[in-house]
Amino acid sequence: MRIKAIGVFTVVVLAVASGPVEAATTWPGDSATRAADGTNVFGGNLSGLSFESSGVVWAVKNGPSTLYRLVPGSGGTWEVDRERSLRFADGQGDPDAEGVVSTPEGLFVVTERDNDNGDVSSPVVLEVGSGTVAEWGLPGMPPVDPNDGPEAISWIPDSYLTAQEFRDDTGKLYDPADYPSHGTGLFAIGLEATGGIFLYALRDGGAELVSEFAGGQARVMDLEWEGTRLWATCDNHCSGRATTLAVVDGEFEVTATYDRPSRLPNVNLEGFAISPSCVNGKKVVLWADDDNTSGHALRSGALSCTV
């Protein structure tokens, strides 16, 4: 296992079950979607998406491991502004980069294994700057097939967690001061194999598991924090449905389940991101298709701002 974090927290957990799947309702936005990239720009393996702003999107490809910065192009498309290969913190390997999140504290990527040693599970979060500047192993995740590991990452601000009186898995009221040097929020990591979501404090000394809960579906492919709720999306294993979760009585619970837009193909949708900007009552939504169906890996649609 390629781990560069200093120190390890020992945590004993059970695998998170997906929980009962609630009946889905219609996608709360436009039914129409469209290709949002040029033909065969990315090829296959585009896996994670995250808006930095309404005009900048970060994307990761899981093999060969690549980070892309995307900016608006012509006709509603997104084009590559720059790209670079990803490595682990020691400068080696080919991280199987599955998810990416842009936070106030930087850019972070989650990986389930090293493609150079693909038969070994290695759940890791990388902080990415001009290179990979930090790396955390993820204690407390159940053992799974190396290709069914951490698939999704998002970031939830402490301000939301404290305002909603969130409690950790011991039942203790969450206090950010209990996790020195962790920044100003917790990282949500989605485990593909179970659909479970794990909340971590990424500290200078290592990652600490704070809580785990069901995402509401059998699998999770991407996570997206949108103001006061966490979106958890699935691919064609779950017909492209999405759940939303929020803190209720101190715990994260599923608050809604949505079908994919009716004109969005039921394909291998591994990436999902929502623009932070509301324009004419709608937010831009992007999906990444790992299979590059019909030569396109990016698709765009819209979400109502009033949902």
pLDDT tens for 68-96 read 999 999 999 999 999 999 999 999 999 99
Residue 8 — pLDDT band, cuts 50, 70, 90? Answer: very low
pLDDT tens for 118-152 read 999 989 999 999 888 999 999 999 999 999 999 99
- Please provide the average confidence, as pLDDT, over all residues in the chain: 93
Region 18-30: mean pLDDT is 82
Region 61-66: mean pLDDT is 97
pLDDT at 29: 98
Of 87-101, 130-144, 230-244, 277-291, the range with the lowest mean pLDDT is 130-144
Question: Distance between CA atoms of 286 and 301, rounded to whole angstroms?
Answer: 6
Per-residue pLDDT at 98 exceeds 90: yes
Residue 21 — pLDDT band, cuts 50, 70, 90? Answer: low
Residue boundaries of the structural domains of the chain: 34-304
Per-residue pLDDT at 1 exceeds 80: no
pLDDT tens for 261-278 read 999 999 999 999 999 999
pLDDT at 15: 41
pLDDT at 5: 35
Per-residue pLDDT at 6 exceeds 60: no
Give me the phi and psi of 74, to 5 degrees please. Answer: -90, 150
pLDDT tens for 162-182 read 999 999 999 999 999 999 999
Pull the structure tokens for residue 136.
């955390």
Question: Distance between CA atoms of 272 and 288, rounded to whole angstroms?
Answer: 6
Which CATH fold would you assign to the domain 34-304? Neuraminidase (2.120.10)
